[in-house]
Amino acid sequence: MPYYVTTPIYYVNAAPHLGHAYTSIAADILARHQRQRGEDVFFLTGTDEHGEPVAIAAEEQGVPPLELADRNSQRFRDLMPLLNVSNDYFIRTTDPEHIRRVQEVLVKVRENGYVYEGTYEGWYCPRCADFKTEAEIGPNNTCPIHEIPLIREREDNYFFELSAFQSQLEQLFDEPGRDFVMPRHRFNEARAFLAGGLQDVSLTRPKLRWGVEVPWDRSQVFYVWFDALLNYYTALGFARGKQQDLTKEFWPADVHLIGKDILKFHTIYWPAMLMAAGIEVPRHVFVHGFLLAPPEREGEEGKKMSKSRGNVIDPFAVIEDYGADALRFYLAREVQFGQDGPVSLEGFNTRYETELANDYGNLASRTVAMINRYRDGHLDPTDHDAEIAAELDGLADAVCAHLDRCDITPALEEIWKRIRRLNRYVEEQQPWQLAKDPDQAAQLDRVLATLHEGVRIVTVLMQPYLPASTEKLLGALGRTERDIAAARCSPAPVDVTTLEPLFPKR
């Protein structure tokens, strides 16, 4: 089965920060998990290079927009392998192949009768690149996301007849079992926006020159959001070169992962635009929350981490010190995926020490070391502890069910419960005592085989979260099968090797 997952494409007005790493890591966890299940995965990320956010930053820095885009796009591209993110393609919206396809689709929307000329008058946020509706305006005409004054705009442009899709969108949202938007509270938010009644939106902009030219009126460029949203569709047409069009195989996308700030564009504008062009809509949009800087004073709320506030953890620095696995783990574990939550270096260190180094790293080291010490590294299991086996039974299914809904935090918690259980099992059984008594040899065999199997199973399931460390550990355990079937009990004779600490203490 094909599985197509995307991240938002990131603005190249600044260098990547932790928020961008977050969505990319989450998408990578889903992509790797689906590959383990034997699905044919296509995972797309990239950069959004047109529009006002980029044009303004370029002007401030006194460089042409494309120069800024080239420089910063490369930084996003470089971040992916550092995070161990396994994207199949990296799209840039300045790619002529993308531009040509954007024009094609939007000409089709016009031919289908959903474009008309008009005058826009209202409030605009240049950082969101968004024309705000009355309900979206903060105190004193400010942007509630960026907390900057909105600009009063009046311009002649072409409109997209969004309002024509009111009832089709309602059907999409209300289709039983469809779950177009996840999680539920974000579904409700988007559904409420829809219930408020849709107004037509600007499709083009006359003033700004940094964008995709409108083929039927060269004095205009397409509004950056439509150019950007279309990346999910256009990329499939040229990611593998001219010879291979992946659209048939992978469209519609299974899930677009996005942050909550861009919900309206992905859950309302995007499906309507596709409907207008006669293209199938994506199956799901999953909306995650914001990573927040810890509150400055007690009782206050944390603020969104953002480059402009300067309250960010630098992903490059964390990876350099601890490696990508530790960062991936922390972000998936600390903040419930779908909710907002604070992150900090202190929090990161605590999770690293108590969970990665103590709970998991120690369990892995002890297991491998005891098999070496007491059984010369060789196990020939005849049976397992039935109680532990029962607790591992069904774990793979539970993880799959969570990840089918993009619930990466609860899936990890399921795995972690088993890691804690295995640690308790070591304490209960005290293999070092069993080893002293020759009458207990069979029990020691059973305990070591149970531990080996338990660690192996949780490690198979944790590969999408910790791709580098699990690779090492599976190697040391002498069983390297990676697919999801390997996460079920399957005793077999094994030879373990030695294992360096996976998460060295600091």
By CB under 6 A, residue 23 contacts ligand MSP: yes
Catalytic residue chosen out of the listed positions 33, 50, 125, 132 = 125
Q: How far is the CB of 227 from ligand MSP (least distance, A)?
A: 9
Q: Which residue, chain included where needed, has tokens 């490690």?
A: 459
Return the number of the residue (10 or 360) whose C-beta is nearest ligand MSP: 10
Q: Judged by CB under 6 A, which stretch of 9-17, 116-124, 315-323, 415-423 contacts ligand MSP?
A: 9-17
Q: How far is the CB of 312 from ligand MSP (least distance, A)?
A: 8
Catalytic residue status for 307: yes
52 vs 223: CA distance, rounded Å? 9
For residue 92, which phi and psi values (nearest 5 degrees)?
A: -120, 135
Encoded tokens for 322: 């601890």
Encoded tokens for 156: 């002649």
Q: How far is the CB of 91 from ligand MSP (least distance, A)?
A: 10
Encoded tokens for 260: 């909550």
Catalytic residue chosen out of the listed positions 303, 307, 417, 472 = 307
406 vs 259: CA distance, rounded Å? 13
Q: Judged by CB under 6 A, which stretch of 15-23, 134-142, 163-171, 397-405 contacts ligand MSP?
A: 15-23
Catalytic residue chosen out of the listed positions 20, 256, 266, 402 = 20
27 vs 45: CA distance, rounded Å? 9
Restricting to residues 43-102, which ones interact with ligand MSP according to CB under 6 A? Answer: 48
Restricting to residues 283-312, which ones interact with ligand MSP according to CB under 6 A? Answer: 290-291, 304-306
By CB under 6 A, residue 182 contacts ligand MSP: no
Catalytic residue status for 304: yes
Q: Which residue is nearest to ligand MSP (CB)?
A: 19
Count how many Cα atoms sit within 13 Å of the Cα of residue 87 in the half-sphere of its side chain. 26
Restricting to residues 240-279, which ones interact with ligand MSP according to CB under 6 A? Answer: 258-259, 261-262
258 vs 304: CA distance, rounded Å? 15
Catalytic residue status for 185: no
Return the number of the residue (22 or 165) whose C-beta is nearest ligand MSP: 22
By CB under 6 A, residue 8 contacts ligand MSP: yes
Catalytic residue status for 406: no
Q: Which residue, chain included where needed, has tokens 């995709």?
A: 212
Residue 349: helix, strand or coil by DSSP? helix
Check if the beta carbon of residue 303 is closer than 8 Å to that of residue 255. Answer: no
Which residue type occupies 324? A
485 vs 458: CA distance, rounded Å? 12
Return the number of the residue (261 or 414) whose C-beta is nearest ligand MSP: 261
Catalytic residue status for 125: yes
Cα separation values, 436 from 60, 357, 374, 440, 441, Å: 73, 28, 10, 8, 9
By CB under 6 A, residue 356 contacts ligand MSP: no
Catalytic residue status for 256: no
Distance of CA 227 to the CA centre of its chain: 21
Catalytic residue chosen out of the listed positions 50, 132, 146, 452 = 146
Catalytic residue chosen out of the listed positions 98, 266, 304, 402 = 304
Of these, 3, 4, 5, 22, which contacts ligand MSP (CB under 6 A)?
Answer: 22
Check if the beta carbon of residue 33 is closer than 8 Å to that of residue 403. Answer: yes
Q: Which residue, chain included where needed, has tokens 């990239």?
A: 46
By CB under 6 A, residue 19 contacts ligand MSP: yes
Encoded tokens for 18: 């932790």
- Applying CB under 6 A, the residues found at the interface with ligand MSP are 8-11, 19-20, 22-23, 48, 228-229, 231, 258-259, 261-262, 290-291, 304-306
What residues are annotated to the active site? Answer: 17, 20, 125, 128, 143, 146, 304, 307
